[in-house]
Amino acid sequence: MQGLTNTIRRAPPDVMAHGEQYERALSAQIIMLAPFAPHFSSELWSRFIAAPNRVNDKSEYICWSEDVFGQKWPRVEAHHKVKFLVKINNSLMQEFKIPCGELNILSEQEAILLALKHDRTERALKKSKIMSAEWIIHKDYGGTLNFTTENIRKHENSNENVESKKSLEQ
């Protein structure tokens, strides 16, 4: 919310007066404030809808005849890019961005294939045996793919140590 507030504050005067996206951003800000400050947001909303020269008079995002609590919760647009995090054993390995609409419908298998397309992830997993993968989607916000691995070299070394111990005992 703070990022949106800062963006709204930096808008030039002509955008404030005639900007459809500005009006939409301002309404979204008031709607998101409502659960935290219901009385204050109701007052802001009543002043917002009473303001002259609406740009979005027939908006699908703003219902001008309803109070702030009757509004639809703001949604992220499908083309907006959100974070896709790749972790290995719960440690962040890589972060990249993909469109929100694409992320929201990504299956676990598709997420794995997408992560493996990136060289850094592929190189990190090359030296390990993948035990499992967990795909967690935070709708409209981002997703996290966590690989649980077993280090092959450590495993091989432990087998060699056991064999060398057996040969020393004999």
Q: Which residues of 95-107 are buried (b: 16+ CB within 10 A; e: fewer)?
A: eeebebeebbebe
Higher pLDDT, residue 1 or 119: 119
Q: Is 88 helix (H, G, I), strand (E, B) or coil?
A: strand
Share above pLDDT 90 across residues of the chain, in percent, rounded to a whole number: 46
Answer whether 0.75 is exceeded by the pTM: no
Mean pLDDT of 117-145: 89
| pLDDT tens digits along 21-74 | 888 888 999 999 999 999 999 999 999 988 887 777 777 788 888 999 999 988
Q: What is the dihedral of CA 142, 140, 99, 126, to 10 degrees?
A: 20
* Number of alpha helices (DSSP H) and beta strands (DSSP E) in the chain: 8, 4
| Whether the Cβ atoms of residue 4 and residue 21 lie closer than 8 Å to each other | no
Sequence-distant (≥ 6) Cβ neighbours of residue 19 within 8 angstroms: 11, 55
Q: Where are the alpha helices (DSSP H) in 34-151?
A: 38-50, 100-104, 108-116, 119-126
Distance of CA 133 to the CA centre of its chain: 19
Q: Is 66 helix (H, G, I), strand (E, B) or coil?
A: coil
Nearest to 157 by CA among 165, 167, 149: 165
State the Cα–Cα distance between residues 54 and 72, nearest whole angstrom: 19
| SS3 state of residue 19 | coil
What would be the CATH architecture of the domain defined by 81-154?
Roll (3.10)
Angle between helices 108-116 and 119-126 in degrees, nearest 10: 90
